[in-house]
Amino acid sequence: MEMDVPMGEVPMRSLLPALQATADALVSHAAAQSAAAGKPVTCSAGCGACCRQVVPVAPAEARQIAALVEELPEPRRTEVKARFADALRRLAEPGLLEPFERRGEWTAAERTEKGLAYFALGIACPFLESESCSIYADRPIACREYLVTSPPGFCAAPTPRSVDTVHLPTRVWAAVALEEAGGGDPGSISWVPLVLAPAFAAANLDGEALHPGPELLRSVYARFTRDRTGEGFGR
């Protein structure tokens, strides 16, 4: 695998293309192993059920998503912004927006509870169009890392027992988020729900730390390499 890595002092956002390529390579290998074991990936174009789940993104990805929205041509930019606003409105109506803003305090049980409550609302990703991702090349790392092998129809009403996913030894998106938080404990991951990305970016204009590109990439790699020992966040 080859990638370009900036040598100077850069924010994590500058490394996202390299990290996306890393995730793609890991997922491709895992999918091939799953298929060889008799469990091929069943995801296909036109099935957007997973695009109604809570999509966790690292802070750098949230800023990148916000920038991507601003770069869209009109009238699409206004349309996508309206979808983000509608998503926040629909979260607020049943009282879920405030709990999502306190997501760092959730227990594991609360994460599952809030995730199912979110899915029940049927809020589509603002980038979902005709049941397909309209920013596929720029989609979040968590989206790249989510593939199922169970019948596609099960995704419409997911439970831990009905949906089988491709096993990954680690999660690149979580390693990025943990690196940005500067934590060593998986519980210290700082993540943002995709639908809150523009709001997060607007509220955190000065929050991007700068580090030498190669050093930063090595540090992220070290995090998800350690995760393969079973002590990290990918289990």
What are 81-128's pLDDT values in tens digits? 999 999 999 999 999 999 999 998 888 889 889 998 999 999 999 999
CA 221 to chain centre: 17
Q: Contact at 8 Å (CB) between 194 and 125?
A: yes
Per-residue model confidence (pLDDT) at position 159 = 65
Terminal-to-terminal C-alpha distance of the chain: 25
Report residue 84: phi and psi, to 5°. Answer: -65, -45
Unique residue bearing structure tokens 């607020």 = 92
Q: Contact at 8 Å (CB) between 16 and 216?
A: no
Question: Lowest mean pLDDT: which of 16-20, 76-80, 180-184, 186-190?
Answer: 186-190
Per-residue model confidence (pLDDT) at position 87 = 96
Per-residue model confidence (pLDDT) at position 152 = 73
pLDDT tens, residue by residue, 137-194: 999 999 999 888 877 777 676 666 677 888 888 889 999 999 998 866 656 678 999 9
SS (H, E, C) the chain: CCCCCCCCEECHHHHHHHHHHHHHHHHHHHHHHHHHCCCCCCCCCCCCHHHHCCCEECHHHHHHHHHHHHHCCCCHHHHHHHHHHHHHHHHHCCCCHHHHHCHHHCCHHHHHHHHHHHHHHCCCCCCEECCEECCHHHCCHHHHCCCECCCHHHHHCCCCCCCCECCCCCCHHHHHHHHHHCCCCHHHCCCEEHHHHHHHHHHCCCCCCCEEHHHHHHHHHHHHHHHHHHHCCCC
Q: How confident is the model at residue 43 (pLDDT cuts 50, 70, 90)?
A: confident
Query: Could you give the percent of the chain with pLDDT greater than 90?
Result: 60
> What value does the mean pLDDT of the chain take?
87
Per-residue model confidence (pLDDT) at position 158 = 64
Per-residue model confidence (pLDDT) at position 228 = 54
